[in-house]
Amino acid sequence: MNTASEWGYLIVWEFHPKAGLESRFEQAYGPNGIWARFFRQGEGYCGTELVQDTNETGRYLTIDVWASREAYEKFRQTNLEEYNQLDRQCEEMTQAELKLGMFERLGKEELEANS
């Protein structure tokens, strides 16, 4: 697993867990949850963050952090069957799921050049 300072790519999802399943959702999607353990198998994975909206009850974001877009895409393609199986397994906990975007870090080359 890469260190947090080496990240270059984020995938951000919005979730609304089903009522009564919030704790189970938090365990599955948190930084040591089933998704994070799965992603740790991938070269270039830097970590996962789970955050809860302080204004809208029941709204969460996950932020999956990778060294690069290429690292994420390679992992997903190589592990697509297991990825889809895990996604189906976790669907039962959520009433809504939306990919908010995939983001590349700007200025990463400058940071690397200065370190």
pLDDT tens profile 39-49: 999 999 999 99
Q: Which CATH class is domain 4-106?
A: alpha beta
Single pTM value for the model: 0.86
pLDDT tens profile 24-66: 999 999 999 999 999 999 999 999 999 999 999 999 999 999 9
- Measure the CA–CA gap between 34 and 51, rounded to whole angstroms: 16
pLDDT tens profile 4-17: 568 999 999 999 99
Beta carbons of 34 and 86 less than 8 angstroms apart = yes
